């Protein structure tokens, strides 16, 4: 008898390990610099956690894609088919909602789905996952999308495209689903079997169909974006403005709808030109109702996941290895409303080189400095009216108390010089 790995699973051999390590280190570095902390939930949970989160109409439940088993104690358990439900269960169990928002959590590890194996589709595969909880400002959406993009870049990828959509608020989704039921209901017999099932349970998912016949019908339909209410529209526009400001290339794609029932507003995917049909490296979206749905306090949230196998497949095609390093260095404090977007913009620029965090709402200097100290940063950078006028940040060295003004355009060289000085002192 010859044993073989189970269909849809594979071994990561010693020669391949550095490639895997490279991806996980890239994620740890990019996410760590943005203040995202790692959390490792168990590989299995009570099945109810996943069923409740995914919703009755999801493929996970409908197509029985979950690996569920009964243990000797008679408990019904499931190998995680995604990270989000387990991470949120832990977030609630450990009262992390009492921490200052946003709470940013990332995870890595195996995911299990009983899908039909094919290129880029396994039954056990690895994901890097990120969740940002507690704030609903579009600045968070833009940051979260950017973190996915930057992480994939740091893996060595070049031919990336970000696709951005919005599914609106629950009432917009409901209106759109009503529209789809009316339109597609009349042509139900022309749809594939899967799409007919989706039409019954969650019509929006018909847009995801890969079936050519379905696609033709879908092409004639209105898109979720045409159903957005004014607030959801403004939110979507603001997300785009931030991404444009930060130079993150994206395209609005009105056909992006995420597979699970809990998504609202922003939905996004990152694709790679070279990996064929399964070109989505990763994706995510906003899920403001989910924490509450799982029994917690009303908490906005947004997250993403990417598949490491697909990333490695893409890296093999255009990958360039990039080097790691870095610890937190600077915390930027917005002292008025205008400064919130300004510090975010500065932080995203500097994060190409340094670990930089910032506040998400207006703070007075005292509280702002306390935030900065709490983050463990070496420098705090204050930004208000006066600084704006002069095109500077007021920088405070949190170790020595020394304070000085640095022009925005000189921040990068100032910080680089400080790090350089450290190296020299250290080598004496």
* Segment contacting ligand AMP by CB under 6 A, of 169-177, 274-282, 322-330, 372-380: 274-282
d(Cα 314, Cα 296) in Å, to the nearest integer?
Answer: 38
| Residue 91 binds ligand AMP (CB under 6 A) | no
Tell me: does residue 263 bind ligand AMP (CB under 6 A): no
Cα–Cα distance list, 89 to 93, 122, 331, 355, 421 (Å): 6, 25, 30, 29, 45
Residue from 122, 176, 236, 268 in contact with ligand AMP (CB under 6 A): 122
Closest CA to 100 of 382, 377, 372, 337: 372
The residue number whose beta carbon is nearest to ligand AMP equals: 307
∠ Cα 82 86 89 (to 5°) = 150
- CA 394/CA 421 separation, integer angstroms: 21
- 408: contact with ligand AMP by CB under 6 A: no
Residue 131 interacting with ligand AMP (CB under 6 A): no
Q: How far apart are CA 386 and CA 258, in angstroms?
A: 44
Of the residues 90, 238, 280, 419, which one makes contact with ligand AMP according to CB under 6 A = 280
Q: Which helix (H) or strand (E) holds 264?
A: strand 264-272
In whole angstroms, give the CA distance from residue 369 to residue 380: 7
Considering the rule CB under 6 A, would residue 268 count as an interface residue with ligand AMP?
no
- Selected from 44, 50, 306, 331, the binder of ligand AMP by CB under 6 A is 306
Q: Using the rule CB under 6 A, is 115 a contact of ligand AMP? A: yes
Selected from 44, 50, 106, 125, the binder of ligand AMP by CB under 6 A is 125
**Quick check: 253 and 165 in contact, CB under 8 A?**
yes
Q: Which of residues 204, 305, 343, 350 is near ligand AMP by CB under 6 A? A: 305
Binding segment (CB under 6 A) for ligand AMP, from list 96-104, 154-162, 201-209, 301-309:
301-309
Looking only at residues 8 through 67 of this chain, which bind ligand AMP when binding is defined by CB under 6 A? none
Q: Do the Cβ atoms of 269 and 280 come closer than 8 Å?
A: yes
Closer Cβ to ligand AMP, 124 or 254, answer by number = 124
The DSSP line for 352-382 is: TTSEEEE-SS---HHHHHHHHHHHT-SEEEE
310 near ligand AMP, judged by CB under 6 A: yes
Does residue 354 touch ligand AMP according to CB under 6 A?
Answer: no
Residues that bind ligand AMP (CB under 6 A): 82, 113, 115, 120-122, 125, 127, 259, 280-283, 305-307, 309-310
């Amino acid at each position: 008898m010859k044993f073989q790995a189970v269909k849809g699973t594979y071994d990561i051999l010693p020669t391949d390990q550095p490639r895997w390590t490279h991806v996980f280190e890239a994620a740890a570095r990019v996410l760590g610099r943005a203040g995202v902390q790692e959390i490792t939930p168990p590989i299995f949970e009570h099945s109810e956690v996943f069923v409740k989160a995914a919703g009755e109409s999801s493929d996970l439940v409908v197509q029985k894609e979950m690996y569920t088993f009964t243990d000797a104690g008679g408990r019904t358990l499931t190998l995680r088919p995604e990270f989000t439900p387990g991470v949120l269960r832990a977030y609630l169990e450990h009262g992390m909602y009492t921490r200052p928002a946003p709470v940013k959590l990332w995870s890595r590890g195996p995911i299990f789905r009983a899908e039909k194996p094919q290129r880029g589709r396994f039954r056990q595969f690895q994901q890097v996952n990120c969740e940002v909880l507690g704030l609903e400002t579009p600045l968070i959406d833009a940051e979260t999308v950017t973190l996915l993009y930057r992480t994939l870049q740091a893996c060595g990828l070049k031919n990336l495209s970000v696709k951005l959509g919005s599914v609106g608020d629950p009432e917009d989704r409901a209106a759109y689903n009503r529209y789809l039921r009316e339109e597609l209901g009349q042509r139900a017999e022309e749809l594939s079997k899967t799409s007919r099932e989706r039409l019954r349970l969650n019509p929006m998912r018909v847009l995801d169909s890969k079936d050519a016949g379905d696609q033709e019908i879908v092409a004639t339909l209105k898109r979720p974006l045409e159903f957005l209410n004014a607030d959801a529209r403004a939110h979507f526009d603001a997300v785009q403005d931030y991404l444009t400001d930060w130079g993150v290339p994206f395209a609005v794609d009105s056909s992006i709808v995420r597979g699970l029932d809990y998504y609202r507003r922003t939905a996004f995917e990152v694709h790679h030109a070279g990996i064929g049909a399964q070109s989505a490296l990763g994706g995510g979206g906003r899920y403001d109702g989910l924490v509450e749905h799982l029994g917690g306090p009303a908490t906005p949230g947004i997250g993403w996941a990417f598949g490491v196998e697909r990333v490695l497949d893409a890296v093999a095609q255009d990958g360039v290895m990039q080097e790691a390093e870095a610890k937190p260095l600077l915390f930027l404090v917005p002292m008025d409303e205008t400064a919130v977007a300004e510090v975010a913009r500065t932080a995203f620029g500097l994060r190409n080189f340094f670990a930089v965090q910032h506040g998400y709402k207006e703070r007075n200097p005292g509280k702002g400095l306390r935030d900065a100290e709490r983050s463990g940063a070496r420098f705090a950078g204050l930004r208000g009216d006066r600084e704006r006028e002069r095109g500077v940040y007021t920088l405070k060295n949190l170790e020595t108390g020394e304070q000085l003004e640095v022009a925005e355009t000189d921040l990068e060289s100032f910080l680089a010089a400080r790090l350089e000085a450290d190296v020299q002192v250290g080598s004496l």
